[in-house]
Amino acid sequence: MANIDTKTLTIKKAHKHLKRGDFTVAELCDAYLKNIRAKNDEIHAFLEVFSDISEQAVHAQKMFTDGTATLMTGIPVAIKDNILVSGRRVGAASKILEGYVATYSGAAIQKLQTAGVVFMGRTNMDEFAMGSSTENSAYGPTKNPYDTSRVPGGSSGGAAAAIAMEGALVSLGSDTAGSVRQPAGFCGCVGLKTTYGTISRSGLIALGSSLDQIGPVTKTVEDSEIVFNTIRGQDPLDSTTLTEEIYEKARSDGAKKVMTVGVPRNLIDGEGIDEDVRVNFEDSIERLKKLGYVVKDINLPHVKYSLPTYYIMLPGEASSNLARFDGMKYGLYMSGDRLIDDYLLSRGNGFGPEPRRRILLGTYVLSSGYYDAYYNKSQEARKLITKDFTDAWKEVDIIITPTSPTPAFKFGEKTMNPVSMYLADVFTVPSNIADVPTISVPSGTVEREGKSLPLGIQFFAPGCREDLIFEVSKKFLGEVGEVGEV
Amino acid sequence: MIERKDVEKLAALARITIPENEIEKVRKDIDAILEYVDQIKEANDLANNLANNRANNLANNLANNLANNRADVSTSTNFHSYAAVMKNVMREDGEPHDSGIYTDVLLKSAPKTKDGFIEVKKILNG
């Protein structure tokens, strides 16, 4: 058996080896399976490891034999438990979907299937993607591979931990307020949230429909870009996906490459940011200056309202989306005296505390007496936040912030107070509210109780300018050379 | 400040049972979240002040346009270069799939079925 070092593998390296026949797809998958077997009992990144990996590997291997293999062929991929793969269990880590088997695959999954990836398993998450720690999973939390007394972040905590423990080369998560980027930051990975409408939401169990995007967790920016280019594109089953024409037109606007980096001082200098995070962020700014970027302080006056805006919009949208889970069509069913009791019991027992809280809150902000005071206000605020970014793009090409205000926190630290948990998303949520593409990449580590914990930095770009965040973050990580080179 | 009876009413509207001993905790949590989100009411004041200070009316136009739908606002204020060309997406009628081809797989997911239908309890008595 070939000696495969999963630590240093990237998609391109794996592809080169597979193409040369240094190892087979089956051997590559075995290397990751070995890691899963060694670590998953403790980390609990995977809710399920698929039993047909060897069959999938045979199919991918054939593509190498017959010359149809592409970069993603044979690549081991983990899937967050809210993304449907036809014929496989999927449950958004909720008891209300107990036993549910997906009846179709969404567009992103179909594109991966066409490319011949190997699906390794489905990864743990906060129930219905509501949370920042995976502590809200109905199946128990995932642990951070860097320190098992700490959370991996969330809601795509399993997807990020799966990459950090080398259980897959690529994970797909979903990001509604930072659910890909924040766990990627806590687990030392690269997490991408793209422009709304670049990746189809078909086959993604909806949380906040105006905010949700599927996004990859990877080890390198290059891998992130490869996955993005594989799964993006207009989809007739998601009418909010952008046409190629609109996407290309938006890409051709503005900066050709990144020269000026903006630092929103009014957000960074606020309270609640860990001192080590602050120091690391300033170090990152110095690193960017050394690379030749012009760094400029900017003001985003309304962006500080992103989180309160989100916690009005999101419960509203989520309470509507989660109305479909009624015990009649699929998932958990509990029988009562009358039909109404069936609903009350199935939903009351199927949803965990956080979904219940958000459904009630959403029902409140959407109710006729409060709609203007809350939901409408949040839509006004969303426009103001968006405009902050639009104004900023006149001055800078890219904006940077830390990914999270703290490194990974301890289990139980924030579970008693929902608002304290929500604040973990303070730097990630503006990206979804203002609809700009954002990437989180590792920016260093911090020592806590003898453990080395990863930190992340985010790069925000104008809508559809994923190319700019790939360019600058590759340079930041040293994946490519000097500024100006592409 | 929301009250216990409000929580009970919301739970009934949302068709969720909340165990008796959890209602107070839910009430407190929702109250704390509502107190937190209330700060967005400042966002508009800030916008108006900024608009005045800068002696331009962009933010006011913005506020006036807010009642319109997203596409209209985007066009009028050019938030996103690409949003200016956003429009409703319609699908032509026609070429329906063959009747029944998804029935089996969908019914297989349902907890209770009968004769090719999902079975539910009676809604009307009598």
Which candidate from B36, B46, B86 shows the least CB-CB separation from A308? B36
Pair A274, A413: CB distance under 8 Å: no
Q: Which two three-digit tokens encode residue A39?
A: 């670590």
3-state helix, strand, coil in chain A (%, to 5): 45, 15, 40
Q: Give the active site residue among A132, A133, A137, A155.
A: A155
**How far apart are alpha carbons A125 and A131 in whole angstroms?**
8
Give the residue on A whose Cα is nearest the Cα of B88.
Answer: A239
Domains of chain A as residue ranges with CATH: 1-486 (3.90.1300.10)
- Spatial neighbors of A193 by CB under 8 A, at least 6 apart, are A175, A178, A180, A181, A213, A215, A428, A431, A432, A437, A438, A439
pLDDT of residue B73: 35
DSSP SS3 for A88: coil
pLDDT-above-70 percentage for chain B:
69
Domain ranges of chain B: 4-37
Closest approach of B115 to chain A, Cα-based (Å)? 15
Separation between Cα atoms, residue A447 and residue A426, nearest integer Å: 23
List the structure tokens of A326.
Answer: 């009624």
* Minimum distance, in Å, between the CA of residue B105 and any CA atom of chain A: 7
Query: Do residues A176 and A211 lie in contact, with contact meaning Cβ atoms separated by under 8 Å?
Result: yes
Binned at pLDDT 50, 70 and 90, residue B6 comes out as very high
Q: In this structure, are residues A193 and A435 in contact, taking their beta carbons and an 8 Å threshold?
A: no
* Catalytic-labelled residue, pool A39, A80, A143, A474: A80
Chain A residue with the nearest C-alpha to that of B38: A308
Nearest by CB to residue B80, choosing from A309, A418, A463, is: A463
Determine contact: B42 vs chain A, CB below 8 A: yes
Owner of token pair 């496989």: A88
- The whole-angstrom separation of Cα A180 and Cα A429 is 11
Using the 8-state DSSP alphabet, how is residue A386 labeled? H
For residue A239, the chain B residues in CB contact (below 8 A) are 89, 91
- Residues of chain B contacting residue A320, judged by C-beta atoms under 8 Å apart: none
| DSSP alpha helix (H) spans, chain B | 4-13, 23-37, 40-53, 58-65, 70-77, 103-109
Interface A–B counts its CB contacts (< 8 A) at 174
Please tell me the distance from the alpha carbon of residue A158 to that of residue A127, in angstroms, as a whole number: 12
Q: Do A348 and B120 touch (CB under 8 A)?
A: no
A-contacting residues in B 59-98 (Cβ below 8 Å): 59, 62-63, 65-66, 73, 77-83, 85-86, 89, 91
Name the residue among A267, A230, A261 with its Cα closest to residue A110: A230
- pLDDT tens-digit map of B49-97: 776 665 555 544 554 554 343 433 333 333 444 455 567 888 888 888 9
* Model pLDDT, residue B71: 39
Token pair 């509207």 is found at: B13
Q: Considering CB atoms only, which of B30, B82, B121 is closest to A357? A: B30
Q: Among residues B13, B15, B35, B32, which one has the least CA distance to residue B24? A: B32
Query: Residue A217: beta bridge partners?
Result: A171, A191
Q: What is the pLDDT along chain A (486 residues), one digit of tens a residue?
A: 568 999 999 999 999 999 999 999 999 999 999 999 999 999 999 999 999 999 999 999 999 999 999 999 999 999 999 999 999 999 999 999 999 999 999 999 999 999 999 999 999 999 999 999 999 999 999 999 999 999 999 999 999 999 999 999 999 999 999 999 999 999 999 999 999 999 999 999 999 999 999 999 999 999 999 999 999 999 999 999 999 998 998 888 788 888 999 999 999 987 789 999 999 999 999 999 999 999 999 999 999 999 999 999 999 999 999 999 999 999 999 999 999 999 999 999 999 999 999 999 999 999 988 998 899 999 999 999 999 999 999 999 999 999 999 999 999 999 988 888 999 999 999 999 999 999 999 999 999 999 999 999 999 999 999 999 999 999 999 997 545 443
Q: Under an 8 A CB cutoff, do A319 and B14 touch?
A: yes
In this predicted structure, what is the pLDDT of residue A270?
77
Cβ contact A101–B109 (<8 Å): yes
Q: pLDDT (tens digit, 9 = 90+) per residue, B10-34?
A: 999 999 999 999 999 999 999 999 9
**Alpha-carbon span A258 to A360, nearest angstrom:** 44
Task: Select from B65, B88, B87, B89 the least CA-distant residue to B77.
Answer: B65
The pLDDT value recorded for residue A141 is 98
